């Protein structure tokens, strides 16, 4: 049974429940559904989530999601390669931070302007979430790289 954009017009609360509802009501059905909703994708079990990707040659390829979507937090799935989103911040916040990073590196920009942007960023809610998609070995490697970069910066 193919359903295109199964989440279309569904409240987020129902997006989280629709797959279980279908599984319960139609246990013998094979369901193929498309979605752009991380809330719905999060309900998929291991081996049930796939993405369509376009290769550099223009071919469409089907890729299986590695992992168990229904064990991830929504932001983890949203920030995974499935959705190809770099941040869960608003576009305005993302642009503010990019502007700050750009101006901070320039010598011709008054420091007061850079400080004002830094103050605006400091007033924003802080992202305290972690992305547990990485395994312990990857996290350890990233921490080692970070420590090495800090050490070199201090030289």
Condensed to tens digits (0 to 9), the pLDDT of residues 65-120 reads 988 999 999 999 999 889 988 888 889 999 999 999 999 898 898 888 989 999 99
Report which of 81, 90, 93 is spatially closest to residue 38, judged by C-alpha positions.
81
pTM of the model as a whole = 0.67
With 60 as the cut, is the pLDDT of residue 148 above it? yes
Burial string for 17-55 (b: 16+ CB within 10 Å, else e) reads ebbeebeeeeeeeeeebebebbbbbbbbeeebbeeeeee
């Amino acid at each position: 049974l193919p359903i295109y954009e199964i989440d279309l017009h569904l409240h987020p609360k129902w997006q989280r429940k629709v797959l279980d509802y279908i599984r319960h009501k139609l246990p013998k059905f094979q369901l193929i559904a498309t979605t752009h909703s991380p809330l719905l994708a999060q309900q998929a079990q291991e081996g049930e989530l796939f993405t369509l990707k376009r290769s550099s040659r223009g071919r469409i390829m089907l890729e299986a999601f590695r992992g168990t979507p229904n064990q991830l937090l929504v932001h983890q799935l949203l920030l995974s390669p499935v959705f190809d989103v770099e941040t869960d911040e608003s576009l305005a916040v993302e642009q503010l931070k990019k502007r700050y990073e750009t101006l901070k590196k320039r010598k011709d920009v008054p420091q007061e302007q850079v400080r004002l942007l830094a103050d605006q960023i400091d007033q924003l809610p802080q992202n305290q979430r972690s992305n547990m998609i990485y395994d312990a070995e990857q996290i350890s490697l990233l921490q080692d790289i970070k420590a090495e970069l800090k050490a070199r910066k201090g030289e």
